[in-house]
Amino acid sequence: MGESSPVATEKERYRKIHYVTGFLTLFYGVYMVLALVLPLYRVYGVLDGLVAFSYYRVTYYGTPITVDELDRTSYMAAPLVLFTVYMVFSGANLLLALLEGEDYTTQLRLCFTGGLVGAVSSAVFLGLYSYFFTRAVASLSFSLDHVTSAGRLILGSSNVQQFPYTSLLLNPLVHLVLALATLLSSTLSTLLHTGYGWPPKPHEAEGPGHIR
Instruction: Give the rounded distance of the alpha carbon of 72 from its chain centre.
Output: 19
Provide the residue ranges of all domains of the chain, joining segments of one domain with +. 5-143+155-210
Query: For strand 157-162 and strand 39-45, is the pairing parallel, antiparallel, or unpaired?
Result: antiparallel
How far CA 83 is from CA of 5, 29, 33, 179, in Å, comes to 41, 8, 9, 13
pLDDT (tens digit per residue) in 124-179 = 898 888 888 988 898 888 665 555 555 555 566 788 999 999 999 999 999 999 99
Residue 51 CA, distance from chain mean position: 18
Which pTM value belongs to this model?
0.80
The predicted-structure confidence for 38-58, as pLDDT tens digits, reads as follows 999 999 988 899 999 999 999
Cα 177–chain centre separation: 11
Q: What is the CATH number of domain 5-143+155-210?
A: 1.20.140
